[in-house]
Amino acid sequence: MSETTQREAPLSTTAERQAVTSQAGATPSRDWVIVTRGIKREYDMGGEIVRALRGVDVAIRRNEYVAIMGPSGSGKSTLMNIVGCLDTPTAGEYWLNGTLVSSMKDDELARIRNKEIGFVFQTFNLLPRATALHNVELPLVYAGMSARQRKETAAYALERVQLTSRMYHKPNELSGGQRQRVAIARALVNNPSILLADEPTGNLDSATSSEIMKVFEELADQGQTVIMVTHEADIAAHARRVVALHDGQVSSDTRREHFVAQNSTAIEAKQ
Amino acid sequence: MLFFESIRLALSTIRAQKLKSFFTLLGVCIGVMFLIAVVSIVEGMGRYMEQDLIGKLIGVNSFELRYRPNINIGDVDPSVWESYRRRPRLFHDDVAPVIAALPEGARWAVVSDNNLPVSSRYSGGPRNAQISAVEGEFFAIRKFEIAEGRDFTPQELSMGTPVVIIGPDVVKRLFPTVSPLGRELRMGGLPYMVIGVLKAQGSAIGLSFDNQVFAPWQAPVHRLLNRVPQIIDAVIVQVPSAAQMTEAQERVRQVMRVRHRLRPGQPDNFTLQTSESALAFWNKLKRYLVLAGIALPAIGLVVGAIVIMNIMLVAVAERTREIGIRKALGARRADILSQFLVEAATLSTVGAVVGIALGIGLAKFIAAVSPLPASVASWSIIVGVALGAGVGIISGVYPASRASLLDPIAALRQE
Ligand SMILES: Nc1ncnc2c1ncn2[C@@H]1O[C@H](COP(=O)(O)OP(=O)(O)OP(=O)(O)O)[C@@H](O)[C@H]1O
Ligand SMILES: [Mg+2]
């Protein structure tokens, strides 16, 4: 099968394969932040079944920086939503930090989103009427933190993305890159175990994109687990591991060096 | 989410959408405004009726023996009027036996009154005033106080000395430039000396208590007050406590039945009028007023509730993306539900508070331009605020639960 043939030599796939293929229901070891086993997501469109995911097996270690690539409609966003606990799979298991998330109820998922997950969206998704600071405070509000502590914590998160000077600006008073940095600060403010980004540079020009990629790079260097969806090879090349989706299934899973070597033409054309 | 955070959020939404909020609040605002205004006026009238007017007309713990009631409640049947007309009048001879029958500690007064012209040398032509010829402790029972000068002496009362005590309006009309004390005024062609001036009682509902002249009953003026000189209008009796009212009335009734030679089974042909019988009229009126005071605002509140529900549904639709964002960041269903509930409640409470302010203003305005008194009841303010919050919560439930049930992914995808 193509999946196995493409998991080539330089990959540390043995351990990963063990994690995902070990017996269904078995709790993965603590090394793995994310383990999905045979995740399926099907939409019933009035009798016609749309299979967005057809059995995805992925295992991601703590501190990894992973890019998910694939053509439009391949199921990247669907996978991200499930990994981000915004959606639940129709079949399969999703383990987050050794907890089986795929069978959780609504309010438990909300708690996981609040504590374990930081989301960065293509369209920023900031509250337009709130200041940068207040936007960053939001996850802390739902975590039940006191107003004073909230403000301190949010201000620190904005400092991490170099936006201290724009704390009291509203989104429409900020540039695209600044907005995305506010969104990143908001995603980080609760110290999540994973930072998820669905096409974070999709709405940005190339200069701003590389500015944002630098932020991700730094976060990854500091030990933050990052998973990023993109369909641009040069953006994916920033990650240390690239998982490719095709038609709702993992088609390849490679280290950055290998990915760069294979896609050099596409990447250089952009740079 | 924290309660105060929700309120802060709601207030900022109101601030951001001033015009829309204004229309949202209008229904609740008007409803509460009318509630406060109507209740204030009903309260004010009630307080006035119970404490002031009735007290002045009849007095506390007192009743009046009259040949027919002079305060009539609602419509009186023509046949009843006819029977009143045929009743025998009360005469001064009746006074002594009635007084003799009273229980210990009771106070009494005799009064005859009519409207007559009064004149003085210190002003133009004669002016009409309410002339009362009194005997006994009239001023004490009616709580009339003397501002200047003095009360009648027992000798003046028994001898019918031509002296008078006058109200401040009479002073204004007949003695505009000089002190009335020791000066003369004329009634029925005879001179009377002013020995006292009463404190102002004020007026309400068109009745003035200040355009009055009081003379001893025995003074000549009593002849002008009724067709036959010996007729009296009323014997007023006041007992020390409410518990003694029934007994005193019963004793007076027996005396009068004997004097009028009524056989057992024949109805009384005189009236014992109490403040309760006058209050009964007021209580009946009050019931209608309170009903109107509730029905009118209720309509406003129902309209307000429908408007708020619609506005909140629109708000939920417009802010679907915001709801998606909040859910993605960890808001639970309960958080979203309470956010929109608190928002609706805050919105409508703000409307209620504005309505309370306007209602108090309206009540004060009505009190200022009309003879109706107003008294803002603190309970109506509390009810107003509670109604505001209640209307908001009730009309917010459906929109808020719709918001809380939104699917986060679908919500985020909305433009
Ligand atoms: N709510 C939905 N209802 C029905 N079908 C859906 C729904 N969401 C996604 N799909 C389908 O699932 C498939 C995968 O969609 P997904 O959004 O995950 O693709 P993607 O890889 O993120 O694409 P893109 O690069 O364009 O964002 C598509 O065929 C899409 O039409
Ligand atoms: Mg997508």
Residue B333 has its nearest CB partner, among A84, A107, A144, at: A107
Question: Average pLDDT over chain A, rounded to whole?
Answer: 89
Share of chain A above pLDDT 90, in %: 74
Angle at B325 between CA B320 and CA B331, to 5 degrees: 100
Same domain, B178 and B133: yes
Protein residue closest via CA to atom 11 of ligand 1: A52
Res. A21 pLDDT band, cuts 50 70 90: low
On whether residue B200 sits in a domain, the answer given is yes
Q: When comparing pLDDT for B389 and A26, which is higher?
A: B389
Res. B59 pLDDT band, cuts 50 70 90: low
Same domain, B22 and B99: no
Protein residue closest via CA to atom 24 of ligand 1: A72
In sequence order, the β-bridge partners of residue A35 are: A59, A95
Give me the total of CB pairs closer than 8 Å, taking one residue from chain A and one from chain B.
60
Protein residue closest via CA to atom 4 of ligand 1: A43
Residue B328 has its nearest CB partner, among A86, A107, A143, at: A86
On whether residue B305 sits in a domain, the answer given is yes
Res. B72 pLDDT band, cuts 50 70 90: low
Task: Give yes or no for B413 touching A (CB within 8 A).
Answer: no
| Amino acid B415: pLDDT | 73
Index of the ligand 1 atom closest to the CA of residue A45: 4
Same domain, B87 and B37: no
| Amino acid B58: pLDDT | 62
Nearest chain A residue to B333 by CA: give it. A107
Res. B36 pLDDT band, cuts 50 70 90: confident
Asked whether residue B2 carries a pLDDT value surpassing 70, the answer given is no
In chain A, the number of structural domains is 1
Taking alpha carbons only, the member of A20, A180, A13 closest to residue A93 is A20
Task: Give yes or no for A143 touching B (CB within 8 A).
Answer: yes
Asked whether residue B89 carries a pLDDT value surpassing 70, the answer given is yes
Ligand 1 and A81: CB distance under 6 A: no
Share of chain B above pLDDT 70, in %: 92
| Amino acid B222: pLDDT | 87
Question: Average pLDDT over chain B, rounded to whole?
Answer: 86
Same domain, B93 and B192: yes
Asked whether residue B205 carries a pLDDT value surpassing 70, the answer given is no
Per-residue pLDDT tens for A146-163? 989 999 999 999 999 999
| Amino acid B17: pLDDT | 78
Contact A119 B328 (CB under 8 A): yes
Which of B7, B13, B329 would best serve as a mutation to test chain A binding (most A beta carbons within 10 A)? B329
Contact A139 B335 (CB under 8 A): no
**Mean pLDDT, rounded, for A167-186:** 95
Share of chain B above pLDDT 90, in %: 40
Same domain, B293 and B264: no
Same domain, B98 and B184: yes
Q: Check if the beta carbon of residue B324 is closer than 8 Å to that of residue B412.
A: yes
Asked whether residue A268 carries a pLDDT value surpassing 80, the answer given is no
On whether residue B280 sits in a domain, the answer given is no
Asked whether residue B37 carries a pLDDT value surpassing 60, the answer given is yes
Task: Give yes or no for A142 touching B (CB within 8 A).
Answer: yes
Same domain, B73 and B198: yes
| Least Cα separation, residue A122 to chain B (angstroms) | 11
B132-171 exposure pattern, b = at least 16 Cβ within 10 A, e = fewer? bbbbbebbebbebeeebbebbeeebbeebbbbbbbbbbbb
Which of A105, A114, A172, A189 would best serve as a mutation to test chain B binding (most B beta carbons within 10 A)? A114
**Mean pLDDT, rounded, for A25-47:** 89
Distance A76 CA to ligand 1 centre (A): 8
| Amino acid B112: pLDDT | 92
Sheet with A32-45, side-by-side order of all strands: A48-61, A32-45, A91-96, A99-100
| Amino acid B204: pLDDT | 53
On whether residue B241 sits in a domain, the answer given is yes
| Amino acid B387: pLDDT | 86
Index of the ligand 1 atom closest to the CA of residue A50: 5
Asked whether residue A271 carries a pLDDT value surpassing 70, the answer given is no
**Domain limit, last residue, from B251, B273, B295:** B273
Contact A142 B321 (CB under 8 A): no
**Domain limit, last residue, from B249, B273, B297:** B273
Range with lowest mean pLDDT among A18-22, B151-155, B254-258: A18-22
**Residue A95 domain boundaries:** 3-270
Same domain, B67 and B118: yes
Task: Give yes or no for A150 touching B (CB within 8 A).
Answer: no
C-alpha A207: how far from its chain's center?
22
Range with lowest mean pLDDT among A63-67, B130-134, B202-206: B202-206
Protein residue closest via CA to atom 28 of ligand 1: A73
The DSSP code for A236 is H
| Amino acid A8: pLDDT | 40
Nearest chain A residue to B336 by CA: give it. A142
Distance A132 CA to ligand 2 centre (A): 26
Per-residue pLDDT tens for B190-199? 999 999 999 9
Q: What is the ipTM of this complex?
A: 0.91
Same domain, B47 and B66: no
Per-residue pLDDT tens for B99-109? 999 998 899 99
Asked whether residue A216 carries a pLDDT value surpassing 70, the answer given is yes
**Mean pLDDT, rounded, for B118-123:** 90
Neighbours of B343 (CB within 10 A): 25
Taking alpha carbons only, the member of A11, A9, A6, A38 closest to residue A22 is A38
Task: Give yes or no for B146 touching A (CB within 8 A).
Answer: no
| Amino acid B150: pLDDT | 93
Asked whether residue A11 carries a pLDDT value surpassing 60, the answer given is no
Task: Give yes or no for A86 touching B (CB within 8 A).
Answer: yes
**Mean pLDDT, rounded, for A56-64:** 93
| Amino acid B166: pLDDT | 94
- CA B249, B252, B256, B262 dihedral sign is positive
Contact B328 A141 (CB under 8 A): no
Residues near ion ligand 2 (CB < 5 Å) are A 77
Ligand 1 and A231: CB distance under 6 A: yes
Q: What CATH number should be reported for the domain holding residue A144?
A: 3.40.50.300
Res. A261 pLDDT band, cuts 50 70 90: confident
Q: Check if the beta carbon of residue A205 is closer than 8 Å to that of residue A130.
A: no
Index of the ligand 1 atom closest to the CA of residue A199: 27
In chain B, the number of structural domains is 2
| Least Cα separation, residue A110 to chain B (angstroms) | 5
Neighbours of B378 (CB within 10 A): 7
Alpha-carbon gap, residue A252 to A246, rounded angstroms: 9
Which of A138, A150, A194, A199 would best serve as a mutation to test chain B binding (most B beta carbons within 10 A)? A138
Distance A243 CA to ligand 1 centre (A): 17
**Domain limit, last residue, from B250, B273, B296:** B273
Index of the ligand 1 atom closest to the CA of residue A245: 21
| Least Cα separation, residue B348 to chain A (angstroms) | 22
**Residue B26 domain boundaries:** 3-51+285-413
Per residue, the 3-state secondary structure of chain B, as one string, reads CCHHHHHHHHHHHHHHCHHHHHHHHHHHHHHHHHHHHHHHHHHHHHHHHHHHHHHHHCCCCEEEEECCCCCCCCCCCHHHHHHHHCCCCEEHHHHHHHHHHCCCCCEEEEEEEEEEEEECCCCCCCEEEEEEEEEECHHHHHCCCEEEECCCCHHHHHHCCCEEEECHHHHHHHCCCCCCCCCEEEECCEEEEEEEEECCCCEECCEECCCEEEEECCCCCHHHHCCCCCEECEEEEECCCHHHHHHHHHHHHHHHHHHCCCCCCCCCCCEEEEHHHHHHHHHHHHHHHHHHHHHHHHHHHHHHHHHHHHHHHHHHHHCHHHHHHHHHCCCCHHHHHHHHHHHHHHHHHHHHHHHHHHHHHHHHHHHHHCCCCCCCCHHHHHHHHHHHHHHHHHHHHHHHHHHHCCCHHHHHHCC
Res. B400 pLDDT band, cuts 50 70 90: very high
| Amino acid A10: pLDDT | 36
**Mean pLDDT, rounded, for A247-264:** 89
Same domain, B187 and B305: no
On whether residue B278 sits in a domain, the answer given is no
Range with lowest mean pLDDT among A90-104, A229-243, B78-92: B78-92
Same domain, B91 and B229: yes
Range with lowest mean pLDDT among A187-191, B71-75, B348-352: B71-75
Asked whether residue B375 carries a pLDDT value surpassing 90, the answer given is no
Same domain, B263 and B298: no
Ligand 1 and A80: CB distance under 6 A: no
Nearest chain A residue to B409 by CA: give it. A86
